[in-house]
Amino acid sequence: MRDAFVRALVREMAVNPRIVLITGDLGFGVLRPLWDQYPDRILNGGIAEQGIISLAAGLAATDRTVIVYSIGNFPTLRPLEQIRNDCAYPGADVKIVCVGGGFVYGSLGMSHHATEDMAIMRALPGVTCFTPGDPAETECVTREMLRRKGTCYLRLGRGNEPMVHSEPLTEWAFPKALVIREGTDIALMSAGGILTQTVAAHDLLREKGISARVISFPCLKPVDEDMIRQVIARYPDVITVEEHTVLGGFGGAVCEVAAGEGAPCRIHRMGLQDCYTAVVGNQQYLREIYGMDAKAIAEKTENILRGKGGEAR
């Protein structure tokens, strides 16, 4: 995802000389194309995210589009007050890019596990939140984000994520969700890089004769309410999956829409329960430990369809 983001950014910087990027003392390898082509438009703000956000807001006030790029929680939780007061409130054209959403930096411990960011950022009025599921979606939402005025949040994985879409996306209509696999028995909906696990779960379920529809939501706020309405009207059970707490994130957004519709559908939220991630390990290991890998999704789906474990989570 990082590489896809940089590819899209290089193209946008070529046509928009007002784009500036500030890095929080990281990403020098992946950001190398920017250093080489636009050395006067990329800054290293150091490990000082609160100051970086305020600097970004100041630069945005000079008619620039400013990107702040850092790891996981650091560009979101640490400078939350600056994001709220300096960027979101005045509508500054600042784009906050989190690399390492969820358990990407799992081996570095809880301080580097970004598992509350989606809930917190979507709660800020005026902030658009993007949650692409693979490199193809990342390129589309990066282009959209940079051409959209105002404060935005982009949640990325790290690197080497597989392409889930069979081919590059040439167009994407903001803020539309994307159907990845068709299915008739149940719907699996996800936001972010956990898409790989919902697709893998689809394949496991297909081997057992279960047909699951897989839908990716590259935009968390505004969420594609039309797609949610269609899904809850069609399926009696829907599973939401996120590499994030189930409190206030993607599953919460789906439930907010469903609550106003009155459809006889049950939303089953899969993600981190109300706890901190005390376990240390790589991303896939933590997905397994906290019950959001492909196997756990498939088992949850089977239990629901068999009438076991069907209570909403």
Q: Kindly tell me if the per-residue pLDDT of 309 is higher than 80.
A: no
CATH architecture classification, 178-305:
3-Layer(aba) Sandwich (3.40)
- The proportion of the chain whose per-residue pLDDT surpasses 90, expressed as a percent, equals 93
Same fold for the pair 2-156 and 178-305: yes
Q: Kindly tell me if the per-residue pLDDT of 27 is higher than 80.
A: yes
Q: What is the pLDDT of residue 308?
A: 52
Q: What is the pLDDT of residue 307?
A: 87
Assigned fold of 2-156: Rossmann fold (3.40.50)
pLDDT in tens, 202-217: 999 999 999 999 999 9
Q: What is the mean pLDDT of residues 2-21?
A: 96
According to the 3-state scheme, what is the secondary structure of the chain?
CHHHHHHHHHHHHHHCCCEEEEECCCCCCCCHHHHHHCHHHEEECCCCHHHHHHHHHHHHCCCCEEEEEEECCCCCCCCHHHHHHHHHCCCCCEEEEEECCECCCHHHCHHHCECCHHHHHHCCCCCEEECCCCHHHHHHHHHHHHHCCCCEEEEECCCCCCCCCCCCCCCCCCCCCEEEECCCCEEEEECCCCHHHHHHHHHHHHHCCCCEEEEECCEEECCCHHHHHHHHHHCCEEEEEEEEECCCCHHHHHHHHHHCCCCCCEEEEEEECCCCCCCCCCHHHHHHHCCCCHHHHHHHHHHHHCCCCCCCC
- Please report, for the chain, the start and end positions of each structural domain, with discontinuous segments joined by +: 2-156, 178-305
pLDDT in tens, 68-123: 999 989 999 999 999 999 999 999 999 999 999 999 999 999 999 999 999 999 99
Q: Kindly tell me if the per-residue pLDDT of 286 is higher than 90.
A: yes
pTM of the model: 0.95
